[in-house]
């Protein structure tokens, strides 16, 4: 995203690290933090509190200042800073921590000495009594939770991750792993990032020769709320890295350990253990969602039993909105796939018919806002509207008028009447439909940089006429990449698949083209590729294109539809239907690894700045709040 504030910090590639401080009020603590740096490093303060006192402290010490306009959480603030690093390593520094320039240089020297290091951290102590803080910890695991429950936590000495209060992070690791996961609003974001780095072969190191002080919870607010956020973030972490079964095991261990301690420990320690037992019994993420709830009750409706681009988008948005404190219910979509993709804090009701959708909406009549996707969902909202009179928002996912036939179009003019706002997912869609729209481009989450060393081109799309898959396959045959050891993976299904398989045979390239069908793990597919080929001439948005951009793939796309917006001048565009031009783009990227990486990097930054999931959710929330009843 592009936040409000000063211009991006610029500096030479390499050199001293950029210091990023994510602040939340507490200007006095920030004063001490920045004073210790003594102006020796470029410093960026991301102010999640929009506090004029924080801005004044930053400016007094010559630091750049960014006000994102809302509390993005630590991970979101870090991502703003890391996007401005310009090839430099990044020192993440809490405002309640103090480290002086000599120690930073010791850390930086240690990081540069070992190219396998993703991050290094100094020794830390409490400033008041000099108590040493533990800096390195093992990753949270279900088995580790049982060891802790048995009272044997002291046996877990290994250092898998370093705490993020003072953490120097490698630019190369950030480029490879990607940014912090902003679903971790507070706590566990650094352990998640280091776990992802470890999965890609990176290591971390504790540097005892550098020293810092850290107050701890200096800006964290109420202790009970901090505990809820802490445990909710660990639930998020365990669910992400160990799955649902892993979370059940972790939760059972935590309840067993805290329950036993609540019985045997005296006084305050026993009460705190009992409170932790109640927290895990209720569910930490559920408890977090209930903290000072100011969110809306939102129903997303898509009347299908499928799982394709629209359904995948709804799951990503529903999870993001739930993480921001909203109560979200999703109606429709393939039950197994939707339930597997949705966080447990999001309710789901299967509904593939007009009647089922209408009944589900009547049952959800306490919703503050209904968000419908495609005309069948609009019709169900129309039928339920006399009972559930919540405002209705519709996303226009296609560059066409409502309805697939004259009768359906006539009916849609009636069923769309209660809709108070139409959302266009691209400028192309906004220009193609009637009536006023609100432009909110889709967004995707940050992904690790793909290696771009696999000789693989991917086409990720439906196989039907509007996507022009024949252009992509013909371009592959003309490009000559098959003779240079490359292969093409065609992922997706559709009515044209048999015809495309015959075309591949006719062109004599069947040994280098594989048809993967519907692919559940699109991230895995894209991470193992180097180039995405997108021949659709009138793509309404192109979610797969933007997902490829998030992985840093080089993209060759038809210069039509929303590709002109999403890929733009940073990728390779060819005239729609021009097989020769598409083939030349493929050949150029395949032959020149430097150009391929430069294009991929530019597209990855373009996605992060314009098409991030966080920015998309910001815009959705703003629209929702402008339309929802004012007493919610």
Q: Which range (290-299, 317-326, 461-470, 602-611) has the least confidence?
A: 290-299
Q: Does residue 352 surpass a pLDDT of 90?
A: yes
Q: Is pLDDT at 27 greater than 50 in this prediction?
A: yes
Residue 331 and residue 384: Cα distance in Å, rounded?
13
Q: Does the pLDDT of residue 387 top 90, yes or no?
A: no
Per-residue pLDDT, 129: 81
Q: Is the pLDDT of residue 559 over 80?
A: yes
Q: Look at residue 166 and give its three-state secondary structure.
A: strand
> And the tokens for 297?
């009750």
Q: Most distant CA pair in the chain: distance in Å?
A: 80
Nearest to residue 373, comparing CAs of 295, 438, 313? 313
* In contact, 162 and 135? CB cutoff 8 Å: yes
pTM (2 decimals)?
Answer: 0.64
Mean pLDDT of 585-608: 94
Q: How far is CA 81 from CA 22, 37, 63, 305, in A?
A: 9, 17, 12, 41
CB atoms within 10 A of CB 45: 29
Share of the chain above pLDDT 90, in %: 70
Give the residue-averaged pLDDT of 374-397: 90
Residue 41 near residue 92 (C-beta atoms within 8 A):
no
Q: Record the tokens describing residue 509, joined without a space.
A: 């390239």
Tokens for 463, please give them: 């196989």
Provide the terminal-to-terminal Cα distance of the chain, rounded to the nearest Å: 28
Closest CA to 491 of 465, 511, 521: 521
Q: Are 15 and 38 in contact (CB under 8 A)?
A: no
- Asked if residues 617 and 320 have their Cβ atoms less than 8 Å apart, the reply is yes
Numbered ranges of CATH 3.90.550.60 in the chain:
4-214
- At 586 the pLDDT is 98
User: CA 370 to CA 393: how far, in whole Å?
Assistant: 6
Helical residues (DSSP H) of 396-553, grouped into ranges: 406-415, 427-432, 469-479, 497-507, 522-527, 543-550
Tell me whether strands 554-558 and 572-574 are parallel, antiparallel or unpaired: parallel
Average pLDDT of span 450-475: 95
DSSP secondary structure, 144-163, as one string: HHHHHHTT-GGG-----EE-
- For the cut 70, the answer to whether the pLDDT of residue 10 exceeds it is no
16's tokens: 């001293």
Tokens at 392, concatenated:
């209705």
pLDDT tens, residue by residue, 488-505: 999 999 999 999 999 999
**What mean pLDDT value characterizes the chain?**
90
Q: Which residues contact 511 (CB under 8 A, 6 or more apart)?
A: 482
Q: Which is more confidently placed, 390 or 170? A: 170
The structure tokens listed for 534 are 């997108």
Q: Please name the residues in contact with 266: beta carbons below 8 A apart, sequence gap of 6 or more.
A: none
Residue scoring higher pLDDT (141 or 340): 141
pLDDT of residue 499: 96
Q: What angle, rounded to 10 degrees, do the helices at 375-384 and 354-363 form? A: 50
Q: Judge whether residue 128 has pLDDT over 50.
A: yes
Specify the pairing of strand 161-162 against strand 97-98.
unpaired
Q: How many CB atoms lie within 10 A of CB 383?
A: 18
How confident is the model at residue 279, as a pLDDT? Answer: 93
pLDDT over 80 (residue 425): yes
Residue 208 per-residue DSSP state: E
Mapped onto helix, strand or coil, the DSSP state of residue 620 is helix
Judge whether residue 33 has pLDDT over 70.
Answer: yes
**Which residues of the chain form CATH 3.40.50.2000?**
297-443+616-627, 456-611
What's the pLDDT at 71?
Answer: 80
Range list of H helices, 514-578: 522-527, 543-550, 563-566
Average pLDDT over residues 296-311: 91
Q: Is the pLDDT of residue 219 over 70?
A: no
CA-to-CA distance for 231 and 257, rounded, in angstroms?
Answer: 14
Cα–Cα distance for residue pair 223/272, rounded to 1 Å? 11
Q: Report long-range pairs for 542-548 (Cβ below 8 Å, ≥24 apart).
A: 542/566, 543/309, 543/312, 543/313, 543/442, 543/444, 544/309, 544/460, 544/461, 546/442, 546/443, 546/444, 546/607, 546/611, 547/444, 547/447, 547/460, 547/522, 547/523, 548/458, 548/460, 548/603
Closest CA to 331 of 301, 366, 370: 301
Distance CA(118)–CA(111), nearest Å, equals: 8
Q: Which of 139, 190, 11, 36 lies closest to 87, judged by CA?
A: 11
Task: Judge whether residue 330 has pLDDT over 60.
Answer: yes
Q: Which CATH number fits domain 4-214: 3.40.190.10, 3.10.129.10, 3.90.550.60, 3.20.20.150?
A: 3.90.550.60
| Superfamily of structural domain 297-443+616-627 | Glycogen Phosphorylase B; (3.40.50.2000)
pLDDT number for residue 11: 38
CATH 2.60.40.10 assigned to 456-611? no
Quote the pLDDT of residue 445. Answer: 84
pLDDT range class, residue 216, cuts 50, 70, 90: low
pLDDT digits (tens, 9 = 90+) for 67-111: 887 788 899 899 999 989 999 999 999 999 999 999 999 999 999
Q: Give the integer Cα–Cα distance in Å for 214 and 187.
A: 16
What pLDDT does residue 115 have? Answer: 94
Looking at residue 14, its pLDDT comes to: 53
The Cα–Cα gap between 432 and 32 comes to 55
**Does 481 have pLDDT greater than 80?**
yes
> What ranges in 480-629 are assigned the alpha helix state H?
497-507, 522-527, 543-550, 563-566, 579-591, 593-610, 613-627
pLDDT band at 366 (very low <50, low <70, confident <90, very high): confident
Question: pLDDT tens digits for 272-298?
Answer: 999 999 999 999 988 887 775 568 999
């Amino acid at each position: 995203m592009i936040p409000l504030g000063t211009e991006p910090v610029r500096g030479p590639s390499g050199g001293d690290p950029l210091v990023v401080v994510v602040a939340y009020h507490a200007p006095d603590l920030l004063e001490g933090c920045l004073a210790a740096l003594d102006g020796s490093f470029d410093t960026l303060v991301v102010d999640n509190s929009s506090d004029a006192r924080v801005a004044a402290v930053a400016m007094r010490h010559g630091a750049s200042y960014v006000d994102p306009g809302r509390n993005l959480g630590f991970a979101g603030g870090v991502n703003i800073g890391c996007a401005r690093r310009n090839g430099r390593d990044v020192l993440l520094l809490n405002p309640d921590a103090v480290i002086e320039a000599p120690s930073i240089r010791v850390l930086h020297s240690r990081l540069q000495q070992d190219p396998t290091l993703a991050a290094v951290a100094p020794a830390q102590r409490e400033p008041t009594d000099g108590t040493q803080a533990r800096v390195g910890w093992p990753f949270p695991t279900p088995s580790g939770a049982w060891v802790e429950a048995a009272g044997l936590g002291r046996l877990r000495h290994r250092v898998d991750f370093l705490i993020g209060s003072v953490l120097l992070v490698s630019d190369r690791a950030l480029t490879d792993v990607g940014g912090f996961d902003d679903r971790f609003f507070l706590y566990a974001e650094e352990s998640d990032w280091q776990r992802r780095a470890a999965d890609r072969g990176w290591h971390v190191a504790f540097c005892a020769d550098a020293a810092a002080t850290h107050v701890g919870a200096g800006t964290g607010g109420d202790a009970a709320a901090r505990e809820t956020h802490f445990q909710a973030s660990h639930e998020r972490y365990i669910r992400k890295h160990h799955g649902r079964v892993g979370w059940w095991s972790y939760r059972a261990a935590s309840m067993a350990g805290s329950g036993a301690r609540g019985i045997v420990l005296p006084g305050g320690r026993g009460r705190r253990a009992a409170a932790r037992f109640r927290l895990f019994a209720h569910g930490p993420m559920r408890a977090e969602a209930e903290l000072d709830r100011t969110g809306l009750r939102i129903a997303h409706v898509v009347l299908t039993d499928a799982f394709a681009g629209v359904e995948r988008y709804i799951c990503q948005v529903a999870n993001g909105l739930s993480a921001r404190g909203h109560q979200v219910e999703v109606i429709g979509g393939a039950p197994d796939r939707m339930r597997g993709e949705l966080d447990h804090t999001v309710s789901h009701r299967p509904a593939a018919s007009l009647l089922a959708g209408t009944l589900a909406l009547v049952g959800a009549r306490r919703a503050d806002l209904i968000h419908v996707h495609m005309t069948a969902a609009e019709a169900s909202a129309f039928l339920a509207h006399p009972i559930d009179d919540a405002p209705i928002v519709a996303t226009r996912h296609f560059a066409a008028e409502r309805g697939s036939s004259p009768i359906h179009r006539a009916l849609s003019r009636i069923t769309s009447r209660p809709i108070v706002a139409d959302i266009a997912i691209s400028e192309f869609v906004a220009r193609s439909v009637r009536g006023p729209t609100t432009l909110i481009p889709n967004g995707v989450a940050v992904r690790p940089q793909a290696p771009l060393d696999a000789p693989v081109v991917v086409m990720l799309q439906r196989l039907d006429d509007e996507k022009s898959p024949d252009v992509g396959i013909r371009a592959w045959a003309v490009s000559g990449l098959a003779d240079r050891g490359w292969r093409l993976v065609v992922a997706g299904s559709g009515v044209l698949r048999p015809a495309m398989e015959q075309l591949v045979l006719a062109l004599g390239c069947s040994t280098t083209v594989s048809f993967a069908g519907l692919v559940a793990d699109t991230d895995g597919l894209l991470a193992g590729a180097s180039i995405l080929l997108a021949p659709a001439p009138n793509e309404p948005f192109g979610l797969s294109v933007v997902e490829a951009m998030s992985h840093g793939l080089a993209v060759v796309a038809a210069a039509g539809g929303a590709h002109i917006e999403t890929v733009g001048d940073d990728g390779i565009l060819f005239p729609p239907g021009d097989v020769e031009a598409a083939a030349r783009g493929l050949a150029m990227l395949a032959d020149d690894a430097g150009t391929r990486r430069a294009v991929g990097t530019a597209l990855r930054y373009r996605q992060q700045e314009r098409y991030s999931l966080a920015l998309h959710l910001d815009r959705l929330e703003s629209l929702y709040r402008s339309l929802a009843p004012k007493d919610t």
